[in-house]
Structure 1
Amino acid sequence: MSTVDEVASAAHSRRYGIEIHGIEPIPTTLRHGRPRSLFTLWFGANTQFATLSVGALTTAAFGLRLIPAILAIAVGTLLSSTVVGLLSTRGPNTGLPQLIQTRGPFGWFGNLPAALSTAIGGIGWYVVDTILGVFILRNLLGIGFTASLAIMVVGQLIVPIIGYRMIHALERGMSVLLICVFAIVTCYVGGRAHLAPAASPSLGTIGAFMLAVSVTAARGLGWSAYACDYTRYLPAGTSPRRVFAAATGGSTLAGIWIGGLGAALGTAAAVTDPSSMVSQLLPPTLGRIVLVALLLSTLSSTVIDLYSGSMAALAAGVRIPRWVSVVVVCAIGSVLAWWAGQHSFTDTFQNFLLITSYWLAPWATVTVAALFRFDRDVAPTPAQLADRRRRFGPGLPATLLGVIASIPFMSQTLYTGPIAHAYPTVSGFGHVIGCAVAVFAYAVISRKARA
């Protein structure tokens, strides 16, 4: 893009407000912003109802006591937030979104499964967050599921269509609002929580603890494939340490706080309907105010799901304008949200978390290893990343080996692996084994390829 084109594109963006850039590198003349914006972005994105619901699963569904549940949430959050922080540092260097950069270790065609799975994951998280919003609308307005879904869909489209700047602005505002709301909820729930859950863990304390770590990390790892999407506009000389600290700090603080609050809620209320989980513990008027704020909190998450889900679709080779991709992703997700809303929320949510994490965990491990250790001296240029002749890299087979290694440990209502079936308490270790196998395989394959 020439200098004249860059100036024209910048003027166009200011005039109409809609981001016109897709997956191409962001020109240096259009770079702007400071790393601190990442703190509010990831704090706002994680201070939401899905985080609360995952925390509630650790006590209400897995049967952990409150203190071990909060510890498991802290471990899972730190793991996933660190990955998001590390990957975020790569955005200012190239001006490229996350899934274009992973063409380095995966190759152009080898990266397609990651792009497709990220697009599907973005749609899946949109479904989860939309259903949570629908639960709130039904509770507030007393209307049906379909009508509530229609309202949610219309309200969630505007911000991701406008794009990057609007998303950062929204998350800044949401961070202030949601701190106030969740502080109120924390005060009320704190006196009603119990150290012991209603039921004992069916997997044993260790098994339940590892499962809680897994689902908490899975929720946070869902952001890892998006990380550079929100740092690619930062100036090229931006400090990687400041980027890492801001992204990791915002995600960690929100994840532990809201996840821990959810764990406390899980000891005091049922989680079959997440909105009633909150409203039944608060005075009626305050409960409605909090539910309105929680409804807005789903927006802070769905805008990222739609924006980065649409970017993943473009990275997979779909050739349409970015805003059109947002509309398509939203349409697919809305249909799936209607279907998923007819089933048990708790079972559907838990299955979704585990299924996505079996791919995301080894993928994220390989991506971090490739970008920050094994390939740090041979990082490809943007032109090389766009070259389809670089078909496959060692990242894809390494990730697949990690997924295969975790299959015997899989444990959910859709499928239970042989080891998880025989020894249920070790099922939560599947992600650890998958990550270890993936990074070891990548180290071996990449070194042999260079040799």
Structure 2
Amino acid sequence: MSNTTTPASGLERTRRLGVETTGIEIIEESERTARPRDLFWPWFAANVSVFGISYGSFVLGFGISFAQALVVTVVGVVVSFALCGVIAIAGKRGSAPTMILSRAAFGVQGQKLPGVVSWLVSIGWETFLAILAVLATATIFDQLGWSAGTTTQVVATVVVAALIVSASVAGYHVIMRMQSVLTWLTGIATIVYVGLTLDEIDWSAVQAVPAGSTQQVVGALVMLMTGFGLGWINIAADWSRYQHRDARGSAIVGWNTFGGAVAPVLLVVFGLLLAASSADLSASIVADPIGTLGTLLPTWFLVPFLLTAILALVSGAVLGIYSSGLTLLSLGVRVPRPVAAFIDGVILTCGTVWVVFFAEDFLGPFQSFLITLGVPLAAWAGIMVADIALRRRDYDDEALFDSGGRYGAVDWTSVATMVGASVVGWGLVVNNFAVDAAWNNWQGYFLGPLGLGTYVDDPAGPYWDGNWPYANLGVLLALVLGFAVTYVARRGTVRRQEA
């Protein structure tokens, strides 16, 4: 059964209604007007956030030197966004959302396995961004001496949720225009922030930070890859599906990587300099990123800083909620795309309200759950990258919606690869919130048998002893296994599909 649009749909209805009505169906040829350089705007706007500066403290928290941190920052951020760029090539080849295009690798029905994981990850991380935006508002208001109580949090929640939901419902064309504006606003404000805080850098202290072990370097690398590019990889093709069919794949990868990576690399490096300059400042940033970064500023810039922080977080959340709505449709929910985005927006709002106003120990378990989902997401990414690398032709549009078509109902090789890589990966990662999320301490079951670490059940809180446990090798291994197995085992399948 085809799910393609009719000639008078898509862009014409968007112009008339102001809302994108195109859902998971194939984009009409006449609507594919985007150019590779257009990809710069959504990726840059979603990642040019002062929150990125806080990653400097997170990276140095692994116990590595500034030089080591500089290398893993550039490598981790650039490589992870380059992988997003590879996934974005699928959007150009098929002009459909990421999770629809993934049906070519998993089968039309088999795709629901990674689809559910993708939906949970998107909803979860964007809710987390919304929570950060609300808490940042209260923190800055408190520093200004204004009200930082319940009323402020209620207003912040309403404003943040309204911005995210309304932009997500409006859809692709409105979001692209919004992101191009936010790019300039947040970019300029971030440059001003850096200029105002340069004198906080102590070069002698930066150079004195001792070097760490290989395991610590790997741990920082995995954290950066997961926190940046791999956190977006499941939606990467959603923003390239309006590209011309003749757009060069290398240009799509290049602009996607440049737009996503340039701001985080610069911001994390500046964050490294700040964190290495003061151990106390670094510890405070880990506990309260936005609030601590605000304490370095003169009072007159606190309001612009607040607006910049909120808009950057909202920008990232908008991309996630828009794409989570498309993923919801790919799972078989039969509603218009704006309604799907609205449903996910409501879930985001409810989650934000619960954490900000009611939950006492929810944030740690919440993050633990999302990090755990990063392993199967990495496995899916490896499978998808290999599938794209194996293909030489555009996707069969009709077959993406037909279980009896060339992609079939379920590709058991891909399903088994994702499950197997996830099982292996979970065995080599540990729960970073062992006290707050004790129910998630089942991970790391391969570390002991392989001699990579020892689980210590301390009354004050369980932890892992050894050099490798917190390196989170399982994420990288799941990614590599997904790619390697697929590239070898499905080569013949892809050739038959394209015959």
Report the TM-score when normalising by structure 2: 0.82
Aligned to 2:166: 158
Q: Counterpart amino acid of 1:192?
A: E
Letter in 2 for 1:257: L
Choose which of 185, 188, 204 in structure 2 pairs with 1:177.
185
CA contact under 8 A between 1:218 and 1:356: conserved in structure 2? no
Name the counterpart of 2:329. Answer: 314
Aligned residues, how many? 446
Q: Aligned-pair distance for 1:82?
A: 0.8
Q: What is the CA-CA distance between 1:377 and the residue it aligns to?
A: 4.2
- What is the alpha-carbon distance in structure 2 between the residues aligned to residue 333 and residue 318 of structure 1? 18
3-state SS of paired residue (2:109): coil
Q: Which residue of 362, 367, 371 corresponds with 2:388? A: 371
Contact in 2 for aligned 1:137/1:143 (Cα 8 Å): no
How far apart, CA to CA, are the structure 1 residues paired with 2:106 and 2:349? 31
Counterpart of 1:80? Answer: 80
* Residue of structure 2 in register with 1:425 after alignment: 467
Instruction: Report what 2:265 is aligned to.
Output: 256
**What residue number does 1:25 align with?**
26
- CA pair 132-263 structure 1, distance change in 2 beyond 3 A: farther
Deviation at 1:87, TM superposition (A): 1.4
Aligned-residue offset at 1:187: 2.6
1:221 corresponds in structure 2 to: 230
* C-alpha spacing 1:3/1:209, structure 2 compared with 1 (3 Å): closer
In structure 1, the partner of 2:37 is: 36
Deviation at 1:62, TM superposition (A): 3.1
What's the secondary structure of 1:89's corresponding residue?
A: helix
Question: Hey, what's the Cα distance between the residues in 1 that align with 2:51 and 2:369?
Answer: 12
Shift of 1:33: 2.1
Q: Which residue of 1 aligns with 2:427?
A: 408
The equivalences for 1:291-440 within 5 A come to 291-341=306-356, 342=359, 347=364, 351=368, 354-373=371-390, 376-377=391-392, 380-389=395-404, 390-393=408-411, 394-412=413-431, 413=433, 414-415=440-441, 416-418=443-445, 419=447, 421-422=453-454, 424-427=466-469, 428=471, 429-440=473-484
RMSD of the alignment, in Å?
2.9
Displacement of 1:4 in angstroms is 11
Contact 1:104/1:379 (8 A) holds in 2: no
Q: Is contact 1:44–1:178 with CA below 8 Å preserved after alignment?
A: yes
* CA–CA separation in structure 2 for the residues paired with 1:210 and 1:226: 25
1:13 maps to: 14
* Structure 1: runs of 5+ lacking an equivalent: none
Q: CA distance change for structure 1 residues 13 and 69 in 2, over 3 Å: closer, same or farther?
A: same
CA change 1:211–1:4 in 2 (3 A) is closer
Q: Would the alpha carbon gap of residues 15 and 448 (structure 1) be closer, same or farther in structure 2, given more than 3 Å must change?
A: closer
- Tell me how far 1:235 sits from its aligned partner: 1.8
CA distance in 2, matches of 1:442, 1:32: 33
- Deviation track 1:135-173 (CA, whole Å, cap 9, x = no partner) reads 222124423244432332122211111110111111111
CA distance in 2, matches of 1:127, 1:266: 27
| CA displacement, residues 355-411 of structure 1 (integer Å, 9 cap, x when unaligned) | 2321222211110011112xx147651111111231211222112211111122111
2:256 counterpart (247, 259, 277)? 247
Q: Would the aligned equivalents of 2:355 and 2:363 in 1 still touch at CA under 8 Å? A: no
Distance 1:409 1:194, change over 3 A: farther
Segments of structure 2 that go 5 or more residues without pairing to the other structure are 142-147, 434-439, 455-464
Q: Decide whether the 8 Å contact of 1:398 with 1:439 is kept in 2.
A: no
Deviations along 1:410-448, whole A, 9 cap, x unmatched? Answer: 112232414164264223222222223222332443257
Please, which of 195, 207, 212 is the counterpart of residue 187 of structure 1?
195
In 2, Cα distance between equivalents of 1:37 and 1:149 = 31
Residue identity (%): 23
For residues 172 and 58 of structure 1, do their structure 2 counterparts lie closer, same or farther at Cα, with a shift above 3 Å needed? same
Matched-pair contact (CA < 8 Å) for 1:107–1:392: yes
CA contact under 8 A between 1:49 and 1:298: conserved in structure 2? no
- TM superposition score normalised by structure 1: 0.90
Q: Cα deviations across residues 333-366 of structure 1 (Å, max 9, x unaligned)? A: 2222334444579846863563232122221111
Alpha-carbon distance change, 85 to 2 in structure 1, aligned in 2, over 3 angstroms = closer
Tell me which structure has the larger Cα radius of gyration.
2
